[in-house]
Structure 1
Amino acid sequence: MRKSHHPDPEIIGPAEGHEARVRSRFWKTVKKAIAAIPFIDEVVAAYYCALDPETPASVRATLLAALAYFVVPLDIVPDFILGFGFSDDITVLVTAIGMVRRHIGERHRLAARVALDRLAAEKAG
């Protein structure tokens, strides 16, 4: 069995569709975008919500589509363009998260805080 790249595998279900793409690229993209996206904690909470098997399918689909857009480096405004690269991703993420915000629970936000603290510790150490 392949080891998960995500810090808290106990709340996620099996990979399929957009989910596989998001799982494989999410943390690498977060590391690049962490300074460019001021609400990265909410993006990470949305990630955990999208992978939570208890999240309604329509909410999962909405979040996975937005997160798939986020992790693809070549989109409307390529992510490598300094200062503008994540601007279109921000728009997509804000819209999707706004649509389903009530489904992003405290356990998703707690998992996000733990994961972001781990990333910060890795970067510092």
Structure 2
Amino acid sequence: MPTPTPEPYSEASFWDKLREQALSAGREVVERALCLYFAAQQPQTPLWARTVIYGALAYFIAPIDAVPDMAPVLGYSDDLGVLVSALVTVSLYINDEVRQRARETMGRWFGPREDGGERPGR
């Protein structure tokens, strides 16, 4: 029996896009998307912040972009811009727990960071 296709703007489609596009999107895009996702899961994140987060994540998983994701070099630049804007807007809700969950997920997917740099939302 075939696997059901997730709804275009669902949690399943978010995880599917991350899994399928993680390497081509790169660490910067994926890590920021994870920080936003985990911040939205926090009970103390207010509705207005969740709305900003879900709007940015919906743009990230949208099948149609301002700059197509398959375009060499620039493909994820619009996604990164939207994710960074959302991170700045909701930065009060990107706490240590959110950063740690994103770091752990990134470590499982990509291995440790080579540059030892700070994480998004710091």
- Shared fold, TM over 0.5: yes
Identity of aligned residues (%): 33
Q: Which amino acid aligns with 1:80?
A: M
Q: Which amino acid aligns with 1:73?
A: P
Q: Which amino acid aligns with 1:51?
A: Q
Report the equivalent of 2:64.
74
Report the equivalent of 1:55.
45
**Count of matched residue positions in the alignment of Structure 1 and Structure 2:** 102
Equivalent residue in structure 1 for 2:85, among 69, 91, 95: 95
Gaps of 5+ in 2: 1-7, 112-122
Report the equivalent of 1:107.
97
Q: TM-score, normalised on structure 1?
A: 0.69
Cα distance in 1 for residues equivalent to 2:62 and 2:43: 23
Report the equivalent of 1:27.
15
Q: TM-score, normalised on structure 2?
A: 0.71
Q: Secondary structure at the match of 2:80?
A: helix
Gaps of 5+ in 1: 1-19
What are the Cα deviations for residues 40-99 of structure 1, in whole angstroms up to 9, with x where unaligned? 323311110112232111111101100110011312112122222111111111111111
**5 Å matches for 1:39-54?**
39=28, 40-54=30-44
* Cα RMSD (Å): 2.1
Cα distance in 2 for residues equivalent to 1:37 and 1:120: 10
Q: Which amino acid aligns with 2:9?
A: R
